[in-house]
Amino acid sequence: MTDAAPALVMKGIRKIYRVGGDDIVALDHVDLTIGSDEIVALVGPSGSGKTTLCSIAGGLLSATEGSVLIGGHDISHASARELTDFRRTSVGFVFQAVNLVPFLTARENLLVVDELAGRRLRRRGAKRRADQLLEERGLADRAANLPAQLSGGQRQRVAIGRALMNDPELVLFDEPTSALDSKLGDQVVRLIRDEMKARGTSAIIVTHDDRITHYADRTVHIEDGRIDGKVVGSA
């Protein structure tokens, strides 16, 4: 751990959905702090609030109550436009379904992050960064391939590279091994840990997979919208 500001500080987070005239509490006064180079596995059953928590941490949702700071910046009361800008520059996402753009090559899937952030004047630098990220992932010879021409593990590696294009404070992973067999899943989790630690980047990994908890610095349990008081360190 470093003396830098925590990557994420969530205090008193509540998220309430109005469904059919009833209030559904998805998160109930959650407090969570992620260190500046920390990997946390977020574990809980379906419907426990894992996805809601990560969506709020990533600026995809706003909390009903509470505060959210990313790298010391308070996004609790940010407008929709401000949150969009925040997501483009400060957070990386790797979704369960990978969500690569099917008609873009591996390189183009990384470059689109730079284009969405409005940095087209730095196109040459962005291309160098994209190629470097692909090379570091052993995908230099796959840069011109479409997602359909890549294996499941290769698509995951492209998705990780895309999440790192904007040099984020925090990367959020949603069940990154759910569609992979045991051997490939272990390789992907090792890659995630190595990538995050090499860059000093923090991560939350939503999972049901015990393989991931072994590589995390901490395991945080959530159930019924509440975080378990017991926090388990990695072996």
231 pLDDT exceeds 50? no
Quote the mean pLDDT of the chain.
85
Highest mean pLDDT of the ranges 61-65, 151-155, 227-231: 61-65
Query: CA–CA separation, 80 vs 78, rounded Å?
Result: 7
| pLDDT tens-digit readout, 155-169 | 888 988 888 888 888
Q: Which pLDDT value is given to residue 122?
A: 58
3-state secondary structure of 227: strand
Query: What sign for the dihedral angle of Cα 218, 222, 227, 230?
Result: negative
CB 174 within 8 A of CB 96: yes
Who contacts 10 (Cβ-Cβ below 8 Å, separation ≥6)?
30, 31, 32, 33, 53, 56, 57, 66, 67, 68, 69
Q: Which two tokens stand for residue 179?
A: 């569609």
Q: Which pLDDT value is given to residue 46?
A: 85
Q: Which pLDDT value is given to residue 198?
A: 87
Q: Which pLDDT value is given to residue 232?
A: 42
Please indicate, yes or no, if residue 114 is contained in any of the structural domains. yes
Number of H helices, E strands in the chain: 7, 10
31 pLDDT exceeds 90? yes
- For the chain, the domain total comes to 1
Ranges 56-60, 67-71, 166-170: which has the least confidence: 166-170
Q: In what order do the strands lie in the sheet with 22-34?
A: 22-34, 8-19, 65-70, 73-74
Confidence of residue 235 (pLDDT cuts 50, 70, 90): very low
- DSSP annotation of 122 reads G
Length of the chain equals 235
Q: Which pLDDT value is given to residue 94?
A: 86
Please indicate, yes or no, if residue 108 is contained in any of the structural domains. yes
Query: CA–CA separation, 24 vs 15, rounded Å?
Result: 8
Please indicate, yes or no, if residue 3 is contained in any of the structural domains. no
Segment 83-110 shows an average pLDDT of 86
Segment 142-163 shows an average pLDDT of 90
81 pLDDT exceeds 50? yes
Segment 144-150 shows an average pLDDT of 94
Q: Which pLDDT value is given to residue 29?
A: 93
Please indicate, yes or no, if residue 2 is contained in any of the structural domains. no
Who contacts 121 (Cβ-Cβ below 8 Å, separation ≥6)?
none
Q: State phi, psi for 190 to the nearest 5 degrees.
A: -60, -45
Confidence of residue 230 (pLDDT cuts 50, 70, 90): very low
Query: CA–CA separation, 185 vs 223, rounded Å?
Result: 25
13 pLDDT exceeds 90? yes
Query: CA–CA separation, 21 vs 211, rounded Å?
Result: 41
Which residues constitute the domain of residue 47? Answer: 8-233
Question: By C-alpha distance, which of 153, 150, 166 is closest to 106?
Answer: 150
Report the CATH number that the domain containing residue 99 is assigned in CATH: 3.40.50.300
Query: CA–CA separation, 146 vs 108, rounded Å?
Result: 9
